[in-house]
A and B are shown apart, each in its own frame.
Chain A
Amino acid sequence: MFEKILIANRGEIAVRIIKTCRRLGVKTVVVYSEADRDSMAVEMADESVFIGPPPAAQSYLVADKIVDAVKKTGAQAVHPGFGFLSEKPEFAQRLADEKIVFIGPNPHAIHAMGDKIESKKTAAQAKVSTVPGYLGEIEDVKHAAQIAEEIGYPVMIKASAGGGGKGIRVAFDKKELQEGFPAVRAEAKNAFGDDRVFIEKFVLNPRHIEIQVLGDKHGNVVHLFERECSIQRRNQKVIEEAPSPLLDAKTRAAMGEQAVQLAKAVGYDSAGTVEFVASGADKSFYFLEMNTRLQVEHPVTEMITGIDLVEQMLRVAAGEKLPFAQKDLKINGWAIESRIYAEDPYRNFLPSIGRLKRYRPPQEGDFGKTKVRNDAGVREGDEISMFYDPMISKLITHGPSRLEAIDAQARALDGFLIEGIQDNIPFLGAVMEEARFRSGNITTGYIKEQFPQGFQGVEPRAEQAELLAACAAYAHAVQTARARQISGQMNGHGVAATTDWVVIVGETRTPVAVHLTDGGADVTFGDRTVSLQTDWRPGKPVIEGEFGGEAFAVKIAPKPEGYGLKLRGVATTALVATPRGAQLRKLIPEKVAADTSKMIASPMPGLVVSIDVVAGQEVKSGEGVAIVEAMKMQNIIRAERDGVVAKVNFAAGASVAADEVLIELA
């Protein structure tokens, strides 16, 4: 085993690698850019080497600087993490030339799998199932029908020069093909001036399923089963799990076997991932590509196999043999991973960078049947920088079954507090609750199909509403009881303790009685009393404990007229009043909030670079309408709904404050 390695990466993956190295007694060196000077990885590593300005092209991507750092520190090997230099064969080769060990596959394997077309050819040669199709010239409809017959319906007819969704049709039978083929051809000619068309198998209900493989330098390759990563937004994975709810033992074995065949065919000697698209309709699967590195979502595999992938990468890189054979490997339970991103789910997932004013991840470790793990590279007070990926952390939970893992994930998300920037936790919480996701009937189109209008938050279920009411009432009762202990009270005029409260959420009024106890309160709804157990005290941003025996965590923030509460995808404000106070509150009509859905506001202060629409112009949801430069970054401001531009309030060159309305829609 190595004595010292260098990690050519940053953030959570650098921290992740350091953790394993510490356990193995391997010393670590990290490199860091200007932006990462005080990062958690730098703090944790045994040594650190400065490699330049924040942009990756001037620091993390410069092979010379990494090699210099290795020489300077005497590290024996380099772990590239993922991204940056991890899949650059030149880099692996360069290290080999310098007699530095690359903790990853050999340059030949990286090269063989690096090219999308080459890798497909290699896969086909290795008898890996690829998407059936016909790449040659198609003469006419008759020829097309013959090809489709061979491939098997449904098929996709695609313009060779196509793109952006244009020039694509799906045919489920011969009739549709006979209509579709000439149509696509005509469209292709019109749109691209090129009427060449090809046909390939259309994968119904496509799901992203990938096989983790692991090889050593002695020709051994095993697979560590699959991960499903179908929950994606704009091709970015959001939620991953292992195993996949789609696969049965037979399909799993077949996919694993093919992945191993492919890995063997290219002499693969590290951790890698073979990606497939699988059909939710008939479990058919086809090779997409192979990633010759550690994947972001590798922890779910670790959780179900008990194998530390980073450790194995180090061991095989050091020349050790794999300590297990395929027959030794078993799936234990289920693991779910959520990627926590710095983005605003309520504003079409607009990136939200800045300072982590509060960062309180849930407690990690074993909780009875379930486990919680949080892979992060940040601490409270750190900055989510515009220079790198806006991922804050990866939250992984493990349970005996899929639903137990999902529920553990949802609970952990409930207790995960981030303030100062926006995060996607409410969205992730909503997905964990959503019936289709829970059923496992997911596809890569899940987010688009399930949240067609984007994410606007969800309404609480009855038992959630009850929990939220109990939390608000408890918080208020504790605050009120404490307020009664203020000094300077008139003798004999101390305020009597109240137990009856009304929790007001919008139009809903819930009368509750709160009897404070040593470790919480008894909360009575009508004739039913539920025990609330918590050690919450004013000032704590999360109220957690047990409600009616069920573990929960709710984010709570005092507001001028009540308490802001967050649970799963629910975000609401609850007002707590005495019964008389509630009567009086009812006399005040709710103000009609100004309709802001027609307003396109600048989410941040900055300089208007351009306004790309004029009054009277029609815009579609998601269309860019303006560019605002903030912190030297150009941010495209998009319409959040369809409409016609009624008014443009700013011109290029103007300064705009946060939330100022740039454009109004009719």
Chain B
Amino acid sequence: MKEIIDALEAKRAAARAGGGERRREAQHAKGKLTARERIELLLDEGSFEEFDMFVEHRCADFGMQDQKVPGDGVVTGWGTINGRLVYVFSKDFTVFGGSLSMAHAEKIVKVQDKALQNGAPCIGIFDAGGARIQEGVDSLAGYAEIFMRNIWGSGVIPQISVIMGPCAGGDVYSPAMTDFIFMVKDTSYMFVTGPDVVKTVTNENVTAEELGGARVHAGKSGVVDGAYENDFETLIQMRRLVDFLPGSNREAPPTRPTFDDPNREEPSLDTLIPDNPNKPYDMKELIEKVADEGDFFEIGKDFGKNIITGFGRLDGSPVGFVANQPMTLAGVLDIDASRKAARFVRFCDAFNIPIVTFVDVPGFLPGTKQEYGGLIKHGAKLLFAYGEATVPKVTVVTRKAYGGAYDVMGSKHLRGDVNYAWPTAEIAVMGAKGAVEIIFRADIGDPEKIAAREKEYKDRFANPFVAASRGYLDDVIMPRETRKRLIRALKALKNKKVETHWKKHDNIPL
């Protein structure tokens, strides 16, 4: 018996050693932790249970039969984050550069299947060189098997991808189909084709960092939802994110006790809206003063900054905040903002997270760049997402809600459950100046008349009362009471049930 135990221990030790001391040191020298170290930081200490530690590849070509490392370049299993079940796989760059073989893919597929079956989030950590070329089509088949699980799991369990090293070629498409992607600055990159191929095909000279670094994807492409400074910070933040998410669409999001008073008033919100209607203000201040303990996990902070999306809690229960940001482009809706918010709204809807919307939107962004880029369809995504969402939806108009953008931003007409406005709200087809220039075109030459007409229009529409008189708003509330009112509204909506027409799935304007 002792011999068998010793043999087991030796096998385990061999698997834990991964690609060996030298490669582990090389990994550290690059500022990266190893696959196992990352799992340790992500999960509660001592909670990780590893699967398939002894799995080896079955390739017999190109001398691969002589190179076998138990585990085959990926560490998989399950553990807990604050006591809640999660499944995890973590690519091991020290073993075959983390490249994907059939056996490696099977390990990932196993945890994906388990996560889906048992209703728990699946977190993938990427740090790998792509397909195991020696395995040829088997490797491609392996990728597709993983992709299929991503698709099955989409909308059923939260799937999170953390890019902590190279992630290129076939490797990028699994993260692309998950709910959230995060990257580590300076030590990770992500692209379909690398700088060498780019150079050959387009003669562009570009570095990996410029082509697919964390800053590029978090800020320019919008592919990733956040970028962090190092492995440690990234994994701490992943723990924080998971605390907002349910295990699956079968359950409500997790609650936790809060130290914050649900009736807390914030008098300073009464002066958040500047006297000058053209002056910006920081919508994040509102979110941070309303959310429990000011805690806000922002999604897509550096992309489409004219809209803010992210998670917070109200009286201990998670909500998704969507808010126009007047500080950037006056909070206008453009392609990036629409795409970003639409995807976030759909995530919240899929996972039973109520949506709280703060509206200060002057409309959609005009211009050829936007129209050529397909603003019509991108804007429609957000409209569609809000309209189809059946989770509790509470909306507060803080200032402008103009034109079609008013309809889009969680309006009553898209089944908004509770719609509030601050006294400073202006709900209208457009700003007074633009409206007057159309309605009273004949008077344009006469500045005095125009000014009088503008004032008339302003007095009539630059307030929340017309909309309130139609019932499009349920109430006009004092800014300082926003937190209290939101919490009350959401409590009343806790058992909301909506029947929808049977369909196979919808056909959102992708």
Q: Per-position contact with A for B256-296: 1 when CB-CB < 8 Å, else 0?
A: 11011000000111111001000001100100000011110
Q: Which of B31, B80, B236 contacts A561 (CB 8 A)?
A: B236
- A548 touches B (CB below 8 Å): no
Q: Which of A38, A487, A537, A585 contacts B232 (CB 8 A)?
A: A585
Beta-carbon contact of A381 and B271 below 8 Å: yes
* Chain A residues, Cβ within 8 Å of B294: 539
* Chain A residues, Cβ within 8 Å of B255: 486-487
- A591 touches B (CB below 8 Å): yes
- A462 touches B (CB below 8 Å): no
Beta-carbon contact of B186 and A591 below 8 Å: yes
Question: A482-B257, A493-B47 are contacts. A584–B83 as well, Cβ < 8 Å?
Answer: no
Q: Per-position contact with B for A481-521: 1 when CB-CB < 8 Å, else 0?
A: 01111111110011100100000000000000000000000
| Complex alpha-carbon distance, A360 and B269, angstroms | 15
Beta-carbon contact of B268 and A588 below 8 Å: no
* Chain A residues, Cβ within 8 Å of B254: 486-488
Beta-carbon contact of A560 and B83 below 8 Å: no
Min distance, Cβ B310 to any Cβ of chain A, angstroms: 14
Beta-carbon contact of A381 and B267 below 8 Å: yes
Question: A381-B268, A381-B270, A584-B40 are contacts. A539–B84 as well, Cβ < 8 Å?
Answer: no
Interchain Cβ contacts under 8 Å between A and B, 30 examples: A355-B281, A356-B268, A357-B268, A357-B282, A380-B267, A381-B271, A382-B271, A383-B271, A482-B259, A485-B256, A486-B82, A486-B243, A486-B256, A488-B254, A489-B84, A493-B83, A493-B85, A537-B293, A538-B259, A558-B295, A560-B236, A561-B228, A561-B229, A561-B230, A587-B28, A588-B28, A588-B33, A589-B31, A591-B31, A591-B229
* Chain B residues, Cβ within 8 Å of A589: 31
- A348 touches B (CB below 8 Å): no
| Complex alpha-carbon distance, A587 and B41, angstroms | 13
* Chain B residues, Cβ within 8 Å of A357: 268, 282, 285
* Chain B residues, Cβ within 8 Å of A356: 268
Which residues on A are within 8 Å of B, measured CB to CB? 37-38, 355-357, 359, 379-383, 420, 482-490, 493-495, 498, 537-539, 558, 560-561, 575, 577-578, 580-581, 584-585, 587-589, 591
Closest to B264 in A: A539
Which 8 pairs between the two chains have the least Cβ-Cβ distance? Answer: A539-B293, A381-B268, A489-B83, A537-B259, A561-B233, A381-B271, A380-B268, A486-B256
* Chain B residues, Cβ within 8 Å of A539: 259-260, 292-295
Enumerate B215-274 residues with CB–CB distance to A below 8 Å: 228-233, 236-237, 243, 246-247, 251, 254-257, 259-260, 267-272
Closest to B79 in A: A493
- B45 touches A (CB below 8 Å): yes
| Complex alpha-carbon distance, A591 and B28, angstroms | 13
Beta-carbon contact of B251 and A488 below 8 Å: yes
| Complex alpha-carbon distance, A543 and B28, angstroms | 36
Which residues on B are within 8 Å of A, measured CB to CB? 28, 31, 33, 37, 40-41, 44-45, 47, 80, 82-85, 186, 228-233, 236-237, 243, 246-247, 251, 254-257, 259-260, 267-272, 275, 281-282, 285, 292-295
Min distance, Cβ B461 to any Cβ of chain A, angstroms: 24
Min distance, Cβ B268 to any Cβ of chain A, angstroms: 3
| Complex alpha-carbon distance, A357 and B31, angstroms | 37
| Complex alpha-carbon distance, A581 and B236, angstroms | 10
Q: Which of A382, A558, A584 contacts B41 (CB 8 A)?
A: A584
| Complex alpha-carbon distance, A588 and B295, angstroms | 27
Closest to A358 in B: B268
Beta-carbon contact of B272 and A580 below 8 Å: no
Beta-carbon contact of A560 and B233 below 8 Å: yes
| Complex alpha-carbon distance, A588 and B38, angstroms | 12
| Complex alpha-carbon distance, A495 and B40, angstroms | 14
Q: A357-B268, A588-B28 are in contact. List 11 more A-B contacts (CB 8 A).
A: A355-B281, A357-B285, A380-B267, A483-B256, A485-B257, A489-B80, A495-B82, A560-B228, A580-B40, A584-B37, A591-B186
Beta-carbon contact of A488 and B37 below 8 Å: no
* Chain A residues, Cβ within 8 Å of B269: 381
Min distance, Cβ A567 to any Cβ of chain B, angstroms: 21
Beta-carbon contact of A560 and B237 below 8 Å: yes
Q: Which of A486, A493, A587 contacts B37 (CB 8 A)?
A: A587
* Chain A residues, Cβ within 8 Å of B83: 484, 486, 489-490, 493-495
* Chain B residues, Cβ within 8 Å of A584: 33, 37, 40-41, 232
| Complex alpha-carbon distance, A420 and B285, angstroms | 9
| Complex alpha-carbon distance, A355 and B82, angstroms | 38
| Complex alpha-carbon distance, A357 and B286, angstroms | 10
* Chain A residues, Cβ within 8 Å of B82: 483-484, 486, 489, 495
| Complex alpha-carbon distance, A578 and B275, angstroms | 49
| Complex alpha-carbon distance, A537 and B236, angstroms | 20
| Complex alpha-carbon distance, A561 and B231, angstroms | 10
Closest to B291 in A: A539
* Chain A residues, Cβ within 8 Å of B295: 538-539, 558
Beta-carbon contact of A561 and B186 below 8 Å: no
Min distance, Cβ B454 to any Cβ of chain A, angstroms: 20
Beta-carbon contact of B272 and A381 below 8 Å: yes
| Complex alpha-carbon distance, A538 and B295, angstroms | 9
* Chain B residues, Cβ within 8 Å of A482: 256-257, 259
Beta-carbon contact of A580 and B243 below 8 Å: no
Beta-carbon contact of B231 and A495 below 8 Å: no
* Chain B residues, Cβ within 8 Å of A591: 31, 186, 229-230
Beta-carbon contact of A495 and B267 below 8 Å: no
Question: A483-B82, A483-B243, A538-B295 are contacts. A588–B256 as well, Cβ < 8 Å?
Answer: no
Min distance, Cβ B431 to any Cβ of chain A, angstroms: 22
* Chain A residues, Cβ within 8 Å of B231: 588
Closest to B247 in A: A488
| Complex alpha-carbon distance, A580 and B268, angstroms | 43
Min distance, Cβ A374 to any Cβ of chain B, angstroms: 17
* Chain B residues, Cβ within 8 Å of A490: 80, 83-85
Min distance, Cβ A576 to any Cβ of chain B, angstroms: 10
Min distance, Cβ B490 to any Cβ of chain A, angstroms: 16
Beta-carbon contact of A580 and B232 below 8 Å: no
Min distance, Cβ B276 to any Cβ of chain A, angstroms: 11
Beta-carbon contact of A578 and B45 below 8 Å: yes
Question: A382-B271, A584-B41 are contacts. A493–B260 as well, Cβ < 8 Å?
Answer: no
Beta-carbon contact of A38 and B271 below 8 Å: yes
Min distance, Cβ A343 to any Cβ of chain B, angstroms: 20
Most A CB within 10 A of own CB, among B233, B251, B254: B233
Most A CB within 10 A of own CB, among B40, B85, B231, B232: B232
Closest to A538 in B: B293
* Chain A residues, Cβ within 8 Å of B85: 490, 493
* Chain A residues, Cβ within 8 Å of B260: 539
| Complex alpha-carbon distance, A488 and B282, angstroms | 35
| Complex alpha-carbon distance, A281 and B446, angstroms | 75
Closest to B281 in A: A355
| Complex alpha-carbon distance, A485 and B256, angstroms | 6
* Chain B residues, Cβ within 8 Å of A483: 82, 243, 256
| Complex alpha-carbon distance, A538 and B233, angstroms | 19
Beta-carbon contact of B228 and A495 below 8 Å: no
Closest to A631 in B: B279
Min distance, Cβ A67 to any Cβ of chain B, angstroms: 28
| Complex alpha-carbon distance, A359 and B271, angstroms | 13
Beta-carbon contact of A560 and B229 below 8 Å: yes
| Complex alpha-carbon distance, A382 and B269, angstroms | 10
* Chain B residues, Cβ within 8 Å of A486: 82-84, 243, 254-256
Closest to A478 in B: B259
Min distance, Cβ A573 to any Cβ of chain B, angstroms: 11
| Complex alpha-carbon distance, A587 and B236, angstroms | 16
| Complex alpha-carbon distance, A585 and B231, angstroms | 9
Min distance, Cβ B237 to any Cβ of chain A, angstroms: 6
* Chain B residues, Cβ within 8 Å of A588: 28, 31, 33, 230-232
Most A CB within 10 A of own CB, among B231, B243, B268: B268
| Complex alpha-carbon distance, A580 and B39, angstroms | 12
* Chain B residues, Cβ within 8 Å of A585: 232
| Complex alpha-carbon distance, A486 and B293, angstroms | 16
| Complex alpha-carbon distance, A521 and B82, angstroms | 22
